[in-house]
């Protein structure tokens, strides 16, 4: 009887250890930002495009931070359309992201019409 209880205890301990290891593997890895001024590609996601607010049209750059550090980015946009070209720049500060979630912030500039061609760039640094 004592031997079977000992086997049961060993089996339970082995199962709990394997479950703990599986949970550790499933946990998302914490991303670290790159040193210096870069585009911080591993940390950031970008979504840019034309948006409308009432009768006003804007070109918007939205960034999402997945890393566990604050990141400040200078964003640049050059938009050309049939009604002319617009150039602008702005600064975005993104709070640290949490595991499985990213924090978001956006910058917009007015443009004369929706559509056309847009080029964007960013210079980011961890704070």
pLDDT for 28 equals 56
Residue 7 lies in a domain: no
pLDDT band at 3 (very low <50, low <70, confident <90, very high): low
Structural element, H or E, at residue 27: none
Residue 36 lies in a domain: no
Residue 24 lies in a domain: no
Tell me the HSE value of 31 on the side-chain side, using a 13 A CA sphere.
20
pTM of the model: 0.73
DSSP letter at 18? Answer: H
Residue 28 lies in a domain: no
Rounded to an integer, what distance in angstroms lies between the CA atom of residue 96 and that of residue 71? 7
pLDDT for 89 equals 97
High-pLDDT (> 70) share of the chain, %: 76
Total domains, the chain: 1
Rounded to an integer, what distance in angstroms lies between the CA atom of residue 62 and that of residue 47? 5
Residue 101 lies in a domain: yes
Q: What is the mean pLDDT of residues 70-77?
A: 96
Q: Name which of 7-16, 88-97, 118-127 the model is least confident about.
A: 7-16
Is pLDDT above 90 for 110? yes
Domain of 79, in residue numbers: 44-126
Q: What is the mean pLDDT of residues 46-65?
A: 95
Residue 22 lies in a domain: no
pLDDT for 24 equals 46
Give me the chain's average pLDDT, please: 84
pLDDT for 35 equals 85
Is pLDDT above 70 for 2? no
Among 57, 58, 48, which Cα is nearest to 109's?
Answer: 58
Domain of 85, CATH number, reads: 2.60.40
Rounded to an integer, what distance in angstroms lies between the CA atom of residue 120 and that of residue 127? 22
Residue 35 lies in a domain: no
pLDDT for 117 equals 96
Task: Give every CB contact of residue 92 below 8 A, 6+ residues apart in sequence.
Answer: 61, 63, 72, 73, 75, 105, 106, 107
Is pLDDT above 80 for 21? no
Residue 14 lies in a domain: no
């Amino acid at each position: 009887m004592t031997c079977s209880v000992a086997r049961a205890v060993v089996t339970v301990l082995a199962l709990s250890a394997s479950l703990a290891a599986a949970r550790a593997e499933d946990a998302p890895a914490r991303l670290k930002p790159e040193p210096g001024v870069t585009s911080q590609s591993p940390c950031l996601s970008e979504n840019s495009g034309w948006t409308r607010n009432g009768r006003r049209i804007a070109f918007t750059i939205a960034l999402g931070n997945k890393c566990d550090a604050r990141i400040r980015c200078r964003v640049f946009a050059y938009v050309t359309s049939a009604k002319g070209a617009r150039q602008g720049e702005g600064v975005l500060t993104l709070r640290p992201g949490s595991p499985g979630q990213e924090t978001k912030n956006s910058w917009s500039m007015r443009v004369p019409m929706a559509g056309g061609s847009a080029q964007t760039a960013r210079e980011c640094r961890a704070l």
